[in-house]
Structure 1
Amino acid sequence: MSLYFTLLFALLTVEMAVLFVLVLPLPYTVRKGAYQTYQKLAVNTQVKTVVIIVGVIVGLLFADSWKRAQIAVHMFHHNISLSSEGEGESRGRYDSHAVTPTQALASRAYNQRNVYISGFILYFMVGIATVMSVMRRLVKYQGLLREKAGKASAGSGDDDKETAELKKELLLKQKDLAAMQKQVENAQKFFDEQNKPVDASSDAKKSE
């Protein structure tokens, strides 16, 4: 394998690893950090330029390898089968010059391998962008859900505080009411005691 296709194979391995990590059920913080990192790289002009250049080069290599891999292959058994269809002395004969040499077959296999490598690199580039778009929506909706949950918990905390304050006020009012009732009872007893001698003296005078 040549040097540039070795580098392409390394790039393909990195893309596979990145895509494998992205499709895992990651926590919200990790997923958000990965998306924010991707956004920073996507906004950077230098990174965009490098990605475009690599994409164009890989696309050209894919087209060139595809074209080189499309060669006709002739094997020995093909010639034998063709000659067996003849008659007389021509049966069993084959033309050795029509057979594809081993070097051409090896070149065809190498070109097919290069087609697979470059094609999958382009495919995973599109796949990573698609997964990142899905991750953007997940991060957005998970963030909204977390905000709603936080507001709900804060609201419940405020309600608990208000309830506790109202209970305290109710207890104070109940104590005040109990104290007022005792005062009323004491005043009523005092009034009754003060009115008893008056009633007794009035009854005595009436009896005389």
Structure 2
Amino acid sequence: MTLYYSLVFVLLVSEMILFMLLIVPLPFTIRRKMFTFISESPLIAKLQYGMKITFIFILILFIDSVNRVYRVQVELAETNKNQGGTVVMGHERMEVQARKFYSQRNMYLCGFTLFLSLILNRTYTMILDVLRLEEKVKEFEGDTSAGGKDSAKLAAAGNAGEIGKLKNQLAEKDRDIANLKKQAEGLSREYNRMGDQISPADSTPKKDK
């Protein structure tokens, strides 16, 4: 196995270990602190960025391995066809079978690595959602240990964009309410002014009588 495929195998084993750590049952407080650290750590953020670039190279290796498997299959079919349909024998057959085996091994190695990376990403997102829901349940049940700094950071890590959108909508609503209050105050002043003007005019004929 070449060096880069050995690195892909090491990455696959690391992903398997990380997946086991994600799904292992832990107390709520420990899991919340662990995911808060993952969400806030700048080292983890740099590592995630580097892994995205690494997975791009693994995708290129996967495409190359699929191409090699296809070429070996075509070569084996052409060899059998040139020999009149007889089975390829001897060292030539062993060489083709070995190339086929290595190509398929590399294809499966890169494919499972990419597939497990998608599973890890989805599992991480689902665990964040579950933690936020558990936090809300504890707050509704009146648990004083729920909430706090860690839960706020955890929620911000999962839905920072949604919070910003809601804040903008809330600010727009506040501006609309302020404008409505100003309009209501203006209408009230105008109503009082018109009422003061009409009242003396109504009382003057009564005094003449």
TM-score by length of 2: 0.56
Secondary structure at the residue paired with 2:24?
A: coil
CA–CA separation in structure 2 for the residues paired with 1:152 and 1:21: 28
Note if 1:104 corresponds to 2:104. Answer: no
Superposed CA RMSD: 3.3
Match of residue 64 from structure 1: 64
| Residue identity opposite 1:7 in structure 2 | L
Provide structure 2 residue ranges, at least 5 long, that are not aligned to the other structure: 146-209
CA–CA separation in structure 2 for the residues paired with 1:141 and 1:96: 62
Give the deviation of 1:147 after TM superposition: 2.4
Secondary structure at the residue paired with 2:141?
A: helix
CA–CA separation in structure 2 for the residues paired with 1:108 and 1:95: 16
Match of residue 9 from structure 2: 9
CA–CA separation in structure 2 for the residues paired with 1:15 and 1:146: 32
The answer to whether the 8 A contact 1:75-1:100 is kept is no
CA–CA separation in structure 2 for the residues paired with 1:108 and 1:69: 6
Give the deviation of 1:74 after TM superposition: 5.0
CA–CA separation in structure 1 for the residues paired with 2:53 and 2:144: 49
Note if 1:31 corresponds to 2:31. Answer: yes
The answer to whether the 8 A contact 1:62-1:115 is kept is yes
Give the deviation of 1:28 after TM superposition: 0.8
CA–CA separation in structure 2 for the residues paired with 1:4 and 1:11: 10
Match of residue 106 from structure 2: 114
Match of 1:134 among 104, 118, 126: 126
1:68–1:135: structure 2 CA closer, same or farther, 3 Å change rule?
Answer: same
Match of residue 135 from structure 2: 143
Count of residues in correspondence between the two structures? 140
Secondary structure at the residue paired with 1:120?
A: helix
CA–CA separation in structure 1 for the residues paired with 2:105 and 2:41: 31
Provide structure 1 residue ranges, at least 5 long, that are not aligned to the other structure: 84-93, 154-208
CA–CA separation in structure 1 for the residues paired with 2:43 and 2:19: 20
TM-score by length of 1: 0.56
CA–CA separation in structure 2 for the residues paired with 1:30 and 1:44: 18
The answer to whether the 8 A contact 2:38-2:44 is kept is no
Secondary structure at the residue paired with 1:101?
A: helix
1:2–1:152: structure 2 CA closer, same or farther, 3 Å change rule?
Answer: closer
Match of residue 200 from structure 1: none
**Greater radius of gyration (CA):** 1
1:42–1:100: structure 2 CA closer, same or farther, 3 Å change rule?
Answer: farther
Alignment of 1:1-208 (within 5 A): 1-40=1-40, 46-70=46-70, 71-72=72-73, 73=76, 94=86, 101-150=93-142
| Residue identity opposite 1:109 in structure 2 | F
CA–CA separation in structure 2 for the residues paired with 1:30 and 1:40: 15
CA–CA separation in structure 2 for the residues paired with 1:16 and 1:8: 12
| Residue identity opposite 2:49 in structure 1 | T
Secondary structure at the residue paired with 2:25?
A: coil
